[in-house]
Amino acid sequence: MSEPAGSVKCKRLEGKVALVTAATAGIGLATAERLAQEGASVFICSRKQSNVDETVAALRGRGLQVAGCACHVGSAEQRKRLVQQCVQVYGGLDILVSNAAVNPGAGPLSETPPDVIDKILDINIKAAVLLVQEALPHLLKRPGASIVLVSSVTAFNPPEPIAMYAVSKTALLGLTKGLAAELGPQGVRVNCVAPGIVPTKFSAALVQTPELAAQQAGATALKRLGLPAEQAAAVAFLVSPDAAYVTGETLVVSGGMHSRL
């Protein structure tokens, strides 16, 4: 957990319902926590029910409004159940944060096996599109609805050995633009956050030694690695009324790393 619940004073999201995927660790957990601190009722998911139960209990123990269920976002049945349960518990849906991603293999693009490519594209891109489709009928019922896709700074310059993963994150930049243009006239904003290198279990390979961590920090203008709470703050801004005239944009939160295609 990032900060005491009382440390976030603004309540921009009171009365809102937010669904955050892959939200029991790392950036997803920090995002769920921040949105709840700002007054949202938050529904979370993860592949393991035990992780969901532990996270819900911990956040509720701090006075936050959180519920959740297990969901593998690659399963059509489980995506449908996820959205249905969120709406059943809270009565609607205002905010969708698509954070789930996988990186099952590492190495050069020219040597990436077909099964690794399939898994990355299936979860990181296809599941994101289909989750939006599942949530959209509910989002369209709520004024000020918003979607945030979580990409990565690596999307702008895919590096070995995680280039295939990074390419899938590049696709999310285009998906953000496409969805924003399509859904804007219907009142739904769509934006993207591209985190820099944040030490989490997911990014462990990039910072697993002090030398690697120092190398990654040295690539930033601020000369340090990021924090999950800093990514969560960016998401909270994009889904809040403060960003009411922002759609189709990618907010890079990387401490000044290179971020141009």
Please tell me whether the peptide bond between 210 and the residue prior to it is cis, using omega within 30 degrees of 0.
no
Which of 43, 90, 156, 165 is flagged as catalytic?
165
Closest residue by Cα to residue 67 from 47, 50, 85: 85
Task: Name residue, tokens 């489709």.
Answer: 133
Tokens of 17: 């319902």
Is residue 165 annotated as a catalytic residue, yes or no?
A: yes
- Residue 31: Cβ within 10 Å count: 31
Tokens of 77: 């049945």
Report the amino acid identity of residue 117. Answer: I
Closest residue by Cα to residue 196 from 225, 169, 233: 225
The answer to whether 69 and 81 have CB atoms below 8 angstroms apart is yes
Q: What does the alpha-carbon distance between residue 208 and residue 205 come to, in Å, rounded to a whole number?
A: 5
Q: Please, how many CA atoms are within 13 Å of residue 116, restricted to the half-sphere of its CB?
A: 16
Collect all residues with Cβ–Cβ distance below 8 Å to 148 and sequence separation of at least 6: 95, 96, 97, 98, 190, 191, 192, 193, 235, 238, 239
Would you name the residues annotated as active-site residues?
165
